[in-house]
Structure 1
Amino acid sequence: MGKMTRRDFLKIGFTGAALTGMGGALTSCFSPAPEVPRKMARTAGKPVTIASTCRLCPAGCGILGVVADGRVTKIIGNPRHPNNRGKLCARGHAGLNVLYDPDRLLYPLKRSGARGEGRWTRITWDQALEEISKRLAPLRQQGKTDALWVEQGIGGEQDLLFLHFLKAYGGPAVFGDSSFPNESRALGQSLTWGTEPLVNDAAKARFILNFGANPYENHEHYIPLAQRIIEGRMNNGAKLVTFDVRLSNTAGKSQEWIPVNPGTDGAIALAMAHHILQQGLQDAEFLNKWTNVSPAKLMEHLAPYTPEQAEKTSGVKAAEIRRLALELAQAKPATILTGRGVGGHRNGVLTERCVSLLCAVIGNIDIPGGNCLPRVMDLGEPALKTSFSSSPQAFSVLKEGKKKPEVFLACMANPAYANPGAGEVVQILKDEKRVPFLVVADTHLTETGALADILLPMATYLESWNLETRPAMDLTPFVSIRQPITAPLGKSLAMGDVVLDLGRRLGGDLAKAMAYPNCEEFIDRVSARIGGLAAGGGIQGLKKEGVWIQTGHRPSYRSFEKKGFPTPSGKGEIFSKRL
């Protein structure tokens, strides 16, 4: 018997249940129905190009969708977008496979057997939202809005209209899908500098030190960062040095690849900082004025972390550590990358802080060619307080019985697959005493969706509206638009349309907060509040170009000199009381 893939397994379970329990009625829930062959129409119509934003990874690159005869035929990069500048990765080009995937969910489904049994009944959106609203209304009336737990995946986060709905609903527990490496970097950097993610100004760097990142293949800033690393190497002769346990694509294209023992990058970073201080090459002004630890105190703290000690831990020769420390300190400016090789370990947060300490020692924070504080546009995104930093933490609390949701909504999130200990997560989600009502909103049937009480078919990023902003690689803030390149297939809906309907059903002040006729009108109103956009062509210009770059803003560095760092002390916190 051939090897069964994950997709084969899900299709067999889903279709088998349909055939045995419902006479094959679910076959039309996918796109297209097997009995309706696709037809290819050829006319002389001129293709139309529509600008939007990719949502297949956190980078959020600008894209152009080419539509011919009502069908999206191609996705390319938007050359006007300041981050990716017309370049796009293979996944971005392959977004058509998400849109026209024959396994897409197209209609709302309700569980008709035991949870996880795989038996479903096709229902209408009216039936689905009426049942959901009946669960949400009592929680709000009784002041138990924190009993609504919402997990957001990459495709469901940062949806402005959805976030405004959650804010208006009042205090639900909102948390992100599991992404341990990024979480470690986010927490480590925010504890030190008060913000994240820092932007590597690699195009202006002369030395690029890489701890466990693979930006030539995968990174939070992927294509935008890879372009600028190449620019720095080609234009400035920047040297790229990579510490990694394996010969990744990036390591293989570095001037130096130095194998390390897994999880020991922090020891190397501390040893490098130790040697730089010992040689008197530190940025004493930055340490004294803009961190909460003096050079003398830092040297005292780093005394045990010698290159010899790091060699015992990491396997990297002490002489190599000393040599690279001197190169890093002398080849100004330098930027330091971190990736999954750092954040994917139990000591990920502390390792990130070790790297931040090294950055402070060489004073490369928010300088040309260094590690820069992020510049983003203020889109009025509501701040949502939550008890959980991530999905694994929420499920840990749920497992211990300290708290439980009355309604669990997984929006483009798949904890039954993505979380550590996925089997345990499955058992928790199967338990109706722990999770009384599970709603999964997704484009496809996932492991979590297979356990849902209600399955909601979501529109893809190519069929929905939103405003997006990302840390500007060139330090000039911008906003990009996500707009439908084509109409949603089947009965799929964008989450914005879902919450507009839910707001009307729940009534009261929530209905007032959701008093928009449609998602596009909401986006129009939000964009009208962005200062300078009206003079730059307004929403119509944004829809046409796909992006608007803040006018009159020039890249500036050392921004902390104006207001300090956004930390409790206003300085870079090498020593943190919050840990």
Structure 2
Amino acid sequence: MARFSRRTIIKGGLASAFFAIGAKIGIGSIIEKLTPGINIARTSRRLRNGIPTTCSNCPAECGIYGFTDYGRLVKIEGFDGNPNNMGKTCSKGEAGLDMLYDEERVLTPLKRVGARGEGKWESISWKEAIEEITYRLKELKMKEMPEQLVFECEASLTTELIVKRFMNAFGSPNAITHSKYGNENKIVAQRLTWGEDFEVPDVENSKYILLFGSNPYESHTFFINLAKRIASARTENYAKLVTIDVRMTQTSGKSDEWYPIRPGTDAFVALAICNVIMREGIADIEFIENHTNVTPKMLSEHLKYYTPEMAEQISGIYVADIVRVAREFATFKPSVAISGGGITKHKNGVYSERCITLLNAITGNIDTKGGYCIPRRFALQDPVPLPNEPIADSNIYYSKNDSVLEHASRAEIIDAVKSRRQKVGVYISYEYNPVYSSPDSEDTAKLFKDEDIIPFFVAIDSYMTETAALADIILPSATYLERRELFSPPSFSMVPFVSFSQPIIEPLGKSKSIYNIIKEISKKIDPNIKKYFKMSEDNFLQASISHISELSDAGGIYYLMGHGYWFDTKMNQSLYKLFERKGFNTPSGKFEIYSERLREEGHDPMPVYVPMEEFSMKNRNAFVLVPFKTNVHTADRTANSLLLSEILHNNPLWINAGIAREYGLQDDDKVEISSKLGRIETKVRITQGIHPNVVAIATNCGHWQFGHIAQAKSFESNNAKTSHVWWEDEGNGIHINKIIPASIDVIGGGRDGWIP
């Protein structure tokens, strides 16, 4: 007779349950959930192994897996090994499939045959394209005018290394590489204060998170890497989340408290919070005395003007709330204050950013667990032989921020070229779309159309962007899913690491990586340039990380190809307060609350509030227009994705419900937005979630190039979905940059993204 124990019955029940579940949802699904990096084909049931790589669809640089079936990429999911995103991904990451197989991708070199912007092109061979480009470049070399070559791109570590190497070899100082990690105002403020480009908020270990004009659940530079850690802190640490913002963002709506502030007044509130902390004796006096270049007495004296009472008058936030937030921030430690484009993209952006850094400093939350941390990452080295630095002068840089910023701001570039202060013989852009993304975009388009100012323009891109459409030659670039690239994004584990992008499939059509494009150009210009690009792309990348001895010993890029990332397991993962061992990267080695550099240039050396008179709202019928980013699109790169454009394809104007009642407005009514540059008509969205003095609109809409999907138009292609753009009648929204004037912060050089 069979005997059954309780254990046998339980085991049998679990097994039955397992197979019952397997029958219901499929064994393949269970295997996928239990084994990251493994995927089961739904039709053939074939096992697919994921290839680890890095997503470049936003600045976060998340680790992803790519799964192929018979040589075609069929699925993207988060790579669990990456220390920053830890297996998570977002809609932009998933949209890599759309962008790779975009039916309107540029897959062969194109030459303009009509007038610039007319849209008439002919396909040419790579040989013809390279010969035409190098003919122009040889002319510049022969006339000893190398500085008339301007090369502009958004910089990743690898791109910046390659572009600057080429430009140095050519002899031009005009390699313009824009940072991914923050606008110019933020970078300048950070460098002036503690010698870094940006901060890494260690929010996962925080107990109090205070946001100023920042929306990390939707649009922060670090995107999912930061958002998931805030969510973790909320559940694991019971961290309090407080948001100060003119708009009810995704983050504001999930905060414990939201304060709709008058636009442009965040700095005064931050300084008033500092005042309360100093006045009530809850500041970290030890940090101020030992690690900053001011005394507590000097700081208290400076802050006494910024009272909570005055802050209430200026910002609209009540005194009691300012005082309570100050006490909580100083005592619920570790705490961290984080800024966003909502305060830095103004004409007072540099000073506003310095006020937020001050708040972190006086509470001793600098580079502490749960605080405002120094970024940990590796640099790449330029392989030998090294080209000499250019001896020619650049006439692009004219403002006093040039040695702080280390690259020209977009406003400076446009001004220098348009005014002919910087003469241009050849202009090259790489995956950069200033005609769409710049303020006063119509003026930028006129500049790129002008053949007297820009005689020859080469766009290296995968798509027919608004900028590429004005080029003389378009060279098809491989997407991040078809090329090799090294990354070292700021580490949220506080241990620097290197990640890798590698081809999931071979480049489609005739597209090539930026390294191989520049290598082809270099070969045809001059043997003295060619020698700097003799190496294969793999050998170049291998040499650029050879100074990281532990990674080299592990196999370098060949290790990365198999593992997707590398970090030194021997390093102490709880290494904080780096400044105690080596100081800050500033002239004094201290956290410079007082900036001698600002004093020398005639500016206030202390963090101060700079009022914006145009926001005074003296005209009852005037509002401040706030452009904002969403969690769906990335700047100007994702608009032709079916997946993303179906989610977000138009951008109604947010307006306060009380104001709407005054004007008799209802949802979807049409209104006119005007500035000194012109007028645009759009529909309204009525909401309680916005300050009465403010109206707001999403960016990333209103494309007039890029492709049919970006313009909300159906078309016939090999993909049946392109003929069923159901939102065609709704349209693709408006392009707000047409009426945003090109005004800047005179210290930082960064654009002012708000319109009074």
Q: 2:584 matched to which residue of 1?
A: 565
Instruction: Figure out how many residues of one structure are paired with residues of the other and give that number.
Output: 539
Contact 2:482 / 2:503 at 8 angstroms: preserved in 1?
Answer: yes
Instruction: Give the superposition deviation at 1:158.
Output: 3.5
- Closer, same or farther in 2 for the Cα pair 1:143/1:357, shift >3 Å? farther
Farther off after superposition, 550-559 or 273-282: 550-559
Q: 2:230 matched to which residue of 1?
A: 229
Matches of 2:155 and 2:181 in 1, distance apart?
13
Q: 1:10 matched to which residue of 2?
A: none
Instruction: Give the superposition deviation at 1:91.
Output: 0.5
- Closer, same or farther in 2 for the Cα pair 1:381/1:92, shift >3 Å? farther
Matches of 1:143 and 1:568 in 2, distance apart?
38
Contact 1:177 / 1:414 at 8 angstroms: preserved in 2?
Answer: no
Matches of 1:381 and 1:282 in 2, distance apart?
44
Residues 367-399 of structure 1 deviation map (CA, whole Å, 9 limit, x = unaligned): 111100011012215999973422222002223
TM-score using structure 2 length: 0.68
Q: 1:372 matched to which residue of 2?
A: 373
Instruction: Give the superposition deviation at 1:180.
Output: 11
Q: 1:149 matched to which residue of 2?
A: 150
Q: Which amino acid aligns with 2:422?
A: K
Matches of 2:121 and 2:568 in 1, distance apart?
49
Instruction: Give the superposition deviation at 1:238.
Output: 1.0
Matches of 1:155 and 1:439 in 2, distance apart?
20
* Corresponding position: 1:252 with 2:214: no
Instruction: Give the superposition deviation at 1:565.
Output: 0.8
Matches of 1:577 and 1:135 in 2, distance apart?
45
Residues 525-571 of structure 1 deviation map (CA, whole Å, 9 limit, x = unaligned): 33444210134354322111100012311131111122211112211
Pick the aligned partner of 1:544 from 562, 572, 575.
562
* Corresponding position: 1:215 with 2:233: no
Contact 2:158 / 2:487 at 8 angstroms: preserved in 1?
Answer: no
Instruction: Give the secondary-structure state (helix, strand or coil) at the position aligned to 1:525.
Output: helix
The alignment's C-alpha RMSD in Å is: 2.3
Q: 1:450 matched to which residue of 2?
A: 469
Instruction: Give the superposition deviation at 1:461.
Output: 0.5
Matches of 1:111 and 1:494 in 2, distance apart?
22
- Closer, same or farther in 2 for the Cα pair 1:143/1:296, shift >3 Å? farther
Matches of 1:521 and 1:157 in 2, distance apart?
13
Matches of 1:41 and 1:136 in 2, distance apart?
52
Matches of 1:440 and 1:344 in 2, distance apart?
28
Pick the aligned partner of 1:533 from 551, 576, 581.
551
Structure 2: runs of 5+ lacking an equivalent: 1-40, 398-406, 599-756
Task: State which structure, 1 or 2, has the greater radius of gyration over its C-alpha atoms.
Answer: 2
Matches of 1:41 and 1:290 in 2, distance apart?
59
Q: 1:102 matched to which residue of 2?
A: 103
Matches within 5 A, 1:468-487: 468-487=487-506
Matches of 2:286 and 2:314 in 1, distance apart?
32
Q: 2:325 matched to which residue of 1?
A: 324
Contact 2:382 / 2:544 at 8 angstroms: preserved in 1?
Answer: no
Matches of 1:125 and 1:46 in 2, distance apart?
38
Structure 1: runs of 5+ lacking an equivalent: 1-39
Pick the aligned partner of 2:450 from 412, 428, 431.
431
Farther off after superposition, 51-60 or 185-194: 185-194
Matches of 1:109 and 1:218 in 2, distance apart?
34
Q: 1:336 matched to which residue of 2?
A: 337
Matches within 5 A, 1:128-167: 128-153=129-154, 158=159, 160-167=161-168
Contact 1:176 / 1:390 at 8 angstroms: preserved in 2?
Answer: no
Contact 2:157 / 2:488 at 8 angstroms: preserved in 1?
Answer: no
Matches of 1:184 and 1:80 in 2, distance apart?
34
Matches of 2:52 and 2:408 in 1, distance apart?
33
Instruction: Give the superposition deviation at 1:304.
Output: 1.4
* Corresponding position: 1:308 with 2:309: yes
Matches of 2:526 and 2:592 in 1, distance apart?
46
Instruction: Give the secondary-structure state (helix, strand or coil) at the position aligned to 2:596.
Output: coil
- Closer, same or farther in 2 for the Cα pair 1:156/1:117, shift >3 Å? farther
Matches of 1:212 and 1:453 in 2, distance apart?
40
Matches within 5 A, 1:17-56: 46-56=47-57
Pick the aligned partner of 2:429 from 403, 410, 433.
410
Contact 2:155 / 2:179 at 8 angstroms: preserved in 1?
Answer: no
Instruction: Give the superposition deviation at 1:44.
Output: 7.4
Q: 1:504 matched to which residue of 2?
A: 523
- Closer, same or farther in 2 for the Cα pair 1:237/1:359, shift >3 Å? same
Matches of 2:352 and 2:50 in 1, distance apart?
45
TM-score using structure 1 length: 0.89
Instruction: Give the superposition deviation at 1:497.
Output: 0.8
Matches of 1:41 and 1:331 in 2, distance apart?
50
Instruction: Give the secondary-structure state (helix, strand or coil) at the position aligned to 1:463.
Output: coil
Contact 1:265 / 1:314 at 8 angstroms: preserved in 2?
Answer: yes
Farther off after superposition, 540-549 or 518-527: 518-527
Matches of 1:178 and 1:451 in 2, distance apart?
24
Matches within 5 A, 1:266-285: 266-285=267-286
Matches of 1:196 and 1:152 in 2, distance apart?
18
Contact 1:274 / 1:302 at 8 angstroms: preserved in 2?
Answer: yes
**Higher percent of residues as helix:** 1
Matches of 2:315 and 2:180 in 1, distance apart?
25
Q: 1:11 matched to which residue of 2?
A: none
Q: 1:93 matched to which residue of 2?
A: 94
Residues 321-345 of structure 1 deviation map (CA, whole Å, 9 limit, x = unaligned): 1110011011111111111211222
Matches of 2:125 and 2:279 in 1, distance apart?
70
Q: 1:521 matched to which residue of 2?
A: 539
- Give aligned-pair identity as a percent: 42
Matches of 2:188 and 2:243 in 1, distance apart?
23
Matches of 1:496 and 1:245 in 2, distance apart?
43
Q: 1:12 matched to which residue of 2?
A: none
Matches within 5 A, 1:124-203: 124-153=125-154, 158=159, 160-176=161-177, 182-203=183-204
Instruction: Give the superposition deviation at 1:450.
Output: 1.3
Matches of 1:67 and 1:180 in 2, distance apart?
31
- Closer, same or farther in 2 for the Cα pair 1:164/1:51, shift >3 Å? farther
